[in-house]
Amino acid sequence: SARHPLRDRGRPRPRPPPRPPPRPVDAMATLKVLVPIAENSEEIETACITDTLVRAGAAVTVASVTGTEQVKMSRGLKIVADCLIDACVGQEWDAIVLPGGMPGAEHLRDSKVLEELLKKQSGEQKVIGAMCASPAVVFGTHGLLPSKAVCYPAPKFLEILGDRLADAPAVADGHVITGTGPGTSLQFALKIVEKLYCKDKAEELAKAMLTTTAP
């Protein structure tokens, strides 16, 4: 029956239902990470980046900049990419992360498509990462180095970083994350997990993989 306005006056109004709690990270939309590779990219670094981020729950796309999906890495391992880099244009990425290796880093540097993707990503303050030779060779060339960074400790790379050089296996400076080389690949990848998700997530993964996070 219809409610009478006079009779209802003074009655307590029903409380609105409680707001649902914030969704945990795992229930949110899956984060998308792009890992570009080239002929002679470093395979240990590539594997550690992709494996760790998949363990964190990210959807990782490996894209070749060399024109063929099968790519021969720096020590002869052949990796089949998910797609060519051209297919990644026009998509939104939560992170773009580069392995190192030489001359793989130079091939990544010379990809105009990747250059534009990186500059767009960085311009939007979204995560970009590079390790080994790539911070110097790729980020240094394209003006993407932050105020603090690391790279493989070869003189020609250290010279490019100059006063920006930090003392750590992996460094996050704003939205830019850099790492040193094959032996610190897991710490670099976990630093990206920490940036995309949270420190607890990175430490949880490190414990499961029997390693540690970078300071």
- pLDDT one-digit tens code per residue, 167-215: 999 999 999 999 999 999 999 999 999 999 999 999 999 999 999 999 8
- Gap between the Cα atoms of 123 and 163, Å rounded: 23
Which pLDDT score, from 0 to 100, does residue 29 have?
Answer: 77
Residue 43 and residue 73 in contact, taking contact as beta carbons nearer than 8 Å? yes
| Residue of 48, 88, 132, 151 marked catalytic | 132
Judged against a pLDDT cut of 90, whether residue 138 lies above it is answered with: yes
At 27, the pLDDT band (50, 70, 90 cuts) reads very low
3 — pLDDT class (breaks 50, 70, 90): low
Query: Whole-number mean pLDDT of the chain?
Result: 91
Q: Looking at residue 18, what is its pLDDT?
A: 55
pLDDT of residue 109: 98
pLDDT at 128: 98
Residue with tokens 């998700």: 197
Best CA proximity match to 57, nearest among 210, 172, 192, 215: 192
Residue 132 appears among annotated catalytic residues: yes
| Strand ranges in 133-185 using DSSP code E only, listed in sequence order | 170-173, 176-179
pLDDT band at 25 (very low <50, low <70, confident <90, very high): very low
For residue 156, what are the CA distances in angstroms to 2, 38, 75, 135, 161?
83, 21, 22, 12, 9
Q: Which helix (H) or strand (E) holds 128?
A: strand 127-131
d(CA 143, CA 136): 10
The model carries a pTM of: 0.86
pLDDT in tens, 72-129: 999 999 999 999 999 999 999 999 999 999 999 999 999 999 999 999 999 999 999 9
Strand order in the sheet with 59-64: 83-84, 59-64, 32-37, 95-98, 127-131, 176-179, 170-173
